[in-house]
Amino acid sequence: MTPLRQRMIDDLRLRNYAPKTITVYTAAVEKFARFCGQTPDRLGAEHVRRWQLHLLDERHVSWSAFNIAVSALRFLYGVTLGRADVVEKIAYGKRPKTLPVVLSREETARFLNTPTRLRDRTLLATAYGCGLRVSELVRLQVPDIDSSRMLVVVRQGKGRKDRVVPLSVKLLDLLRTYWRARRPPRWLFPGKPEGGHLTVPAVQRLCQQTRRQAGLAKRVTPHTLRHSYATHLLEAGVDVPTIQKLLGHGDLATTARYMHVRSERLQSLSSPLDLLDGLFDASPPAAERPSAGDPS
């Protein structure tokens, strides 16, 4: 390990960055250095610009991946190397704003009823019933299920924050059945190797498999269940600040976007077309046929 890499890792640790973030940032800097063929302390803003264009034009990375690379380089130059002149020239990419995919209540029930394995059904029900991120889901431990207070404790979620979410009565019954059958010693959803928890890719694959078996046309990921949880709460009348706390969002604006996919509110609105009097009262026009000279 080079002294520069070690110093960057130390700087990240001193600021209490998550281990996963440290790994991702250092990997991004390593790829940048390999592309340029020199150590980053000998490189400048123009080299970073060439790297950014390479990411977009040659590697066709997503805007999320692009901005992760930007964050890593801004930390390297801004904190570890103390070169503010370079940082101010490293631009973030403007991410497209898209609406999250949300399942209807009927689609959610169909999806959750599809798995035949008790472990899989409990896992997906917990993801939806608590609105968890997939990383939070796989790291749940048996003591995190507080049945006496009907709460689930989410430990060290995004931003290194603990929070609690309500525990559904139906989910508690399912969890008790699952626990009696499997008796997980530590992690609620154990994985391999022995003593570890289930991996994020395993949950993602389960969602894809379950979607196909359920015959759903929508793309379903673990985060789709979280989106659906938030939207269904909003449709049930729960206010946005409360949903923000349940989801563990740091910014209210992040939670507020669910208002744009609230189907109950949208379905109650009328189109201006429906307000026009006398429109289409007559019998519908006959189907038009192209004339002889019509090229269509």
Residues involved in catalysis:
133, 158, 223, 226, 249, 258
Angstrom distance (rounded) from CA 212 to CA 217: 8
DSSP notation for 62-91? -HHHHHHHHHHHHHIIIIIS--HHHHTT-P
Q: Under a CB-based contact definition with an 8 Å cutoff, are residues 153 and 146 in contact?
A: yes
> Treating both helix axes as pointing N-terminal to C-terminal, what angle do 63-75 and 3-14 enclose, rounded to 10 degrees?
100
Q: Under a CB-based contact definition with an 8 Å cutoff, are residues 8 and 26 in contact?
A: yes
Three-state secondary structure call for residue 279: coil
List the helix and strand counts (H, then E) for the chain. 14, 3
**Of the candidates 72, 1, 75, the residue with the CA atom closest to the CA atom of residue 31:** 72
**Of the candidates 122, 113, 116, the residue with the CA atom closest to the CA atom of residue 177:** 122
Residues 214-220: contacts with CB under 8 Å, at least 24 apart: 214/110, 214/111, 214/114, 215/110, 216/103, 216/107, 216/110, 216/111, 218/101, 218/103, 218/107, 219/101, 220/101, 220/103, 220/111
Residues in the chain: 296
